[in-house]
Structure 1
Amino acid sequence: MTTSLPVFELGRPRLDLERVAALAADLLQLRGEVTEDGDRLSVSDENLVLEVFTASGELFAADRSQLHNPSLRPVLPTPDEAYALARGLMERHDLAPRTGDLVELVELGPGGTHVAARARRRARADRRTRQLDVQARFTLGIRNPGVDSEPKVLPVIGGGGKLSFTFGDGGRLIGANGGFRPVGDPTFVDALDVDEAFERLGSGDTLDREGAYLAYYLAPGDVGQTVLTPVWVFTSAFDVDHAGGRGRSTVHGRHTFVAATDRGPVFAQVEEQSERRDRPPAARRPFDRKGARADRAVNPSEAGTSWVRQIDQSTPLGGSPANAQGFVDGLSADGWQMNFNWGDLNAWESDWHSDDDTWVDAADFVFYTGHANQNGWVLCVPGKKQSVLLTPSSVGAAPASPGDLYGQNDLEWFAVAACGPLQDDVISAGGGDVLSRWDGAFDGLHTMLGYGAITFDNADEGRKLARYTRDGMSVIDAWFRTAKEVQPATNGEAAPDGPDVWVGAMWVTKAGVDPSGDHIWGHGSVAADPTAPTQLVCMWTTC
């Protein structure tokens, strides 16, 4: 059955140096020279920055002394006050989209940044939590022109088509993300129905055909796009054994999608990797007794990736290979050595567990993308076409128990670009206690990056994380910015995996050592390894 859906032409944003300067002055009281750096116009000083992508007009603004600062105890505005301030900014600078019969501006519920901390040897009841900011969030909605059984307003996914303003102490603006490209008049075209879309996706017995829904795809702001197009989004769930045979649980996969018209997004096709012939990575550079690194010119920083497109019954993720490759390409261009880039049947659970000293813990920065839940992330059983969940029991209940996962050798930071594993009751009921759950991962590890909700398949997280850390942003700030620019604000899921999409970072501290402000090697300060930590901390913000 043929379905007729609107496709919208996207215009070019109105951008000039004077407009960017006016935005910087009003949003951040920032005055200075506007410069052009590749695909961005920007103005900045020591603590303040405003950037505008020339492809879309979407912006990034931050007061780096205030945004995502876990030491602050701000007095925050109410959500109503935050939305009133945001509407005023949008009106003064013509930031709202042009709406019409089929396009509307949707005000989402307020978001924010939350932090939880406790001493390692104290009970969960001693956790301290607080909110660091209030966010007024807006997104595009596309009114359904009449497809049966679909919602009246269709969501926009892909990271574009949304705008948020972040307010801190006393109602001061401390951040902003996003914007709206000019949307033209619609043209109605024939589109796939759900059954045709399911067949085009190719495979995946775990895909929920009945739960599929229509949405519109708008790419992140640094990506050029000429049309706003519909897609079919598929949800999924599958059962997976825990690593070591210690149980079994359900993983709700990343939402994946397929273009509903011939003008929609298509993930790049990547050939399957040859069967892995295991080899050790290049020798690690030497350490002195205090863990200081030898000459970087001789021994470059090291990174690696593990990615899952599809293993046995897991949902196919077309974006995973390119997502990981973006991380590889970005850090390789900065002189990093890539120890490994294993995908699908080559993405072995043992690299993260029994052989971590040779693989994951022999690198400084590791990027994983695939499927996850709050209790771990999906990898492959070595030598078998079988997925397995690496769980908290694999890393132990506490540092150095039962072994040395992660950071006893080399690992400083790793990112899990999937549907977890940082769910917590602070952000969504039923999320449990992330501080207790992942305590054992920190055997010198600085920071664990992830999500606290179900997320969407994409090809952009790896390249953006590499780009922003190379720009000099802290690892946590770069990850939070990446997530906000790639993921939609909501996912339509129930707690603890939705409906808001939360990005998070967990780290540990001890006296005189706090890695929350870490930068990657060569781009700023890096804390000493927090071995034998005394405090656990996690921070989340809404996408």
Structure 2
Amino acid sequence: MFGDFRYLLVWCCALLTVGAVNVPVLITERRRMTNEEAIQLTSDLFGTDDYSFTVSDERVYVESADRLKHLEYDTVSGGITAADDSEPWSPAAGPPGNLPSEPQAMEMAIEITKRLNILPADGLLPAEIELIIKSDRTSGTYVAHEYSDGAGGYIREDYLIDVSAFFDISIKVPDYPEPLLLTGGGGKFKVAFGSNCRLKEFQALWRPIVGSKPYEIMPQEEADRLYQQSLGALAGTATNITSFLAYYSEPFGTLQKLMYPMYVYEGNAVVGDESIPIRPQATRGGDGTGSSHPGMKQFPKRQALDDAKLFEAASEWLGEPYGLTLAKRNADGFRNGVQDTAPLGVYRYEKSNKDVLESDFVSEADTWADTVDMLFYTGHANRNGWMVAEPGTGAEMFIDYRSFGAGPEVPGDLLGQQDLEWLIIAACGPHQDQHINPSDGNVFDRWRGIFDGLHIMFGYATASVDSSEEGGRFMKYAQEGDTLINAWFRAAKELQTSEVIVSAMWTDDAWDDHLPGYGCVSSDNTLGSQERWIMWTTC
């Protein structure tokens, strides 16, 4: 059910006349909705109830009296997210019953979108623009559970907890022979169904196209040159580079008045013996897309608990020298989010580029990674680990799962034995698994050894888009009271393309962990008898 994912790098097209191709810039506006219309849409999605709404930081929030059915309308981007949490999944609940088949899920999703007139229609477009909407892609949320068999081995159970249908949009414009795919965090239509075929989640972001204006994109050769230049130290080992042209739709919480065509690249780089996806990035040109980022403003914080313990955080990141132009802003957003929780949260340290070392996570973990409760890493990764720098030279190195041992207590005293509880790997891994791609093997075999007291390891199971906002949005939603896993998943769903698979692996009761001061936190478990879980969902 999970499709192959293209390792994307989106490079903004710029005006150039020699050898250029004409592809228009699209003029867009946000979808408008009154408060009453937001309530009506919630009722149409989830049934009649006693709904009410509040307005907070440029979002309209609708919820039922029991607060289990809710919808958010983002007034900046026009995006809509809605969910029915009346039958929430938990590790204790096990597999849900009576899930729809993939064809059933798509059929129900088509009926819902038609009945509510949610999908864009050609009749509302400029005459020269044509939309092609494909409704043939499904995915879902998967869970795997591992526990001891009592004889030195492990038992693994896998199951599906929901089924999602996606609608993919391409745009046909004059003077260009092929339709251009709509990519980016926006332009999404996702409908998910849970037990008994109940509508569980709905996500839609479409900015109506109201016009276009001529635009000359740079020749392919110039775009290729700029792409290679952007790779920094990775340029010499980049392989399998291909590209295509697409329209880039900004994510939730972002104003976008102009939608530019961009070259989309895919490729890998070689670091030591490892082939890693080159983490995607979206670079907007100096003439701008009409974008702003008001969604990064902090929502009003929940009242922190009086008896909350102090938590400490840090970040380590690889930036422009390693082909990642947005990593610094990503780490800045995380740091700002931690500091926004003061006096509960304290930001202890930050290391970047050539100072991000393997020893920080292994031999000197008691000085660095394991001295804080939460560590945010952004850089490059694959299924086996993540990239670091060689001491002294700053050359690319790789830290892999073997550095953390075969299991908890083997060798022990690494991540979590002293302090670390939550490790975020904002990169292209490391949770690839045989359930998604059989050649990737069992994710537990690689990563059970990292849990020497660690509660949750956040990451992805595919290539993921380089973002300036992951860290900030994650902290914002955690401060609103979401569990840490839900905060991570929500940030990814808003920012990543719909082919990306986001993930979280945890031990025992850590599924319900919150940011300290904003909800419960589970206790440490450093024993080999711990149970481990992982969840994957498509963004």
Structure 2: gaps (5+ residues): 1-18, 294-304
Structure 1 equivalent of residue 50 of structure 2? 31
Is 2:66 the partner of 1:57? Answer: no
Q: What secondary structure, in the 3-state scheme, does the structure 1 residue paired with 2:491 have? A: helix
Structure 1 equivalent of residue 172 of structure 2? 143
Q: CA deviation at 1:362?
A: 1.3
Q: Which structure is higher in RCO with an 8 Å CA cutoff and minimum separation 6?
A: 2
Question: In 2 relative to 1, CA 144–362 (structure 1 residues): closer, same or farther, beyond 3 Å?
Answer: farther
Structure 1 equivalent of residue 312 of structure 2? 302
Structure 1: gaps (5+ residues): 242-247, 269-293, 491-500
Question: In 2 relative to 1, CA 295–404 (structure 1 residues): closer, same or farther, beyond 3 Å?
Answer: farther
Q: What secondary structure, in the 3-state scheme, does the structure 2 residue paired with 1:34 have? A: strand
Equivalent position amino acid for 2:28 in 1: L
Structure 2 counterpart of 1:407, from 416, 420, 423: 416
Q: CA deviation at 1:68?
A: 5.2
Structure 1 counterpart of 2:523, from 517, 528, 533: 528
Residue deviations 1:391-421 (CA, integer Å, cap 9, x gap): 1111111112223221111111111111100
Structure 2 equivalent of residue 84 of structure 1? 107
Q: CA deviation at 1:138?
A: 1.5
Give TM-score, length-normalised by structure 1.
Answer: 0.84
Q: CA deviation at 1:160?
A: 0.6
Q: Check whether the contact 1:356–1:362 (CA below 8 A) recurs between aligned residues.
A: yes
Equivalent position amino acid for 1:134 in 2: V
Residue deviations 1:119-160 (CA, integer Å, cap 9, x gap): 145788832111101111123222365558xxx333333211
Structure 2 equivalent of residue 507 of structure 1? 506
Structure 2 counterpart of 1:365, from 352, 357, 374: 374
Give TM-score, length-normalised by structure 2.
Answer: 0.85
Structure 2 equivalent of residue 219 of structure 1? 250
Q: Check whether the contact 2:409–2:526 (CA below 8 A) recurs between aligned residues.
A: no
Q: What secondary structure, in the 3-state scheme, does the structure 2 residue paired with 1:109 have? A: strand
Measure, in 2, the Cα distance between the counterparts of 1:51 and 1:169. Answer: 23
Measure, in 2, the Cα distance between the counterparts of 1:50 and 1:102. Answer: 30
Structure 2 counterpart of 1:250, from 241, 265, 275: 275
Q: How many residues align?
A: 491
Q: CA deviation at 1:345?
A: 1.3
Structure 2 counterpart of 1:433, from 442, 445, 448: 442
Q: Check whether the contact 1:25–1:31 (CA below 8 A) recurs between aligned residues.
A: no
Structure 2 equivalent of residue 12 of structure 1? 30
Measure, in 2, the Cα distance between the counterparts of 1:408 and 1:534. Answer: 14
Kindly report the root-mean-square deviation, in angstroms, between the aligned alpha carbons of the 2 structures: 2.5
Q: What secondary structure, in the 3-state scheme, does the structure 1 residue paired with 2:506 have? A: strand
Measure, in 2, the Cα distance between the counterparts of 1:207 and 1:89. Answer: 44
Question: In 2 relative to 1, CA 267–94 (structure 1 residues): closer, same or farther, beyond 3 Å?
Answer: closer
Q: Check whether the contact 2:254–2:291 (CA below 8 A) recurs between aligned residues.
A: no
Matches within 5 A, 1:47-126: 47-64=68-85, 66-67=87-88, 69-70=90-91, 71-74=93-96, 75-99=98-122, 101-121=129-149, 126=155
Equivalent position amino acid for 2:213 in 1: T
Equivalent position amino acid for 2:51 in 1: G
Is 2:158 the partner of 1:129? Answer: yes
Q: What secondary structure, in the 3-state scheme, does the structure 2 residue paired with 1:129 have? A: strand
Equivalent position amino acid for 2:248 in 1: Y
Question: In 2 relative to 1, CA 356–50 (structure 1 residues): closer, same or farther, beyond 3 Å?
Answer: same
Q: Check whether the contact 1:156–1:488 (CA below 8 A) recurs between aligned residues.
A: no
Q: CA deviation at 1:64?
A: 3.4
Is 2:329 the partner of 1:333? Answer: no
Is 2:251 the partner of 1:232? Answer: no
Q: CA deviation at 1:20?
A: 0.9
Equivalent position amino acid for 1:41 in 2: V
Measure, in 1, the Cα distance between the counterparts of 2:133 and 2:325. Answer: 30
Q: What secondary structure, in the 3-state scheme, does the structure 2 residue paired with 1:305 have? A: strand
Measure, in 2, the Cα distance between the counterparts of 1:310 and 1:356. Answer: 25
Structure 2 equivalent of residue 245 of structure 1? none
Structure 1 equivalent of residue 189 of structure 2? 163
Identity %, equivalent residues = 34
Is 2:524 the partner of 1:516? Answer: no
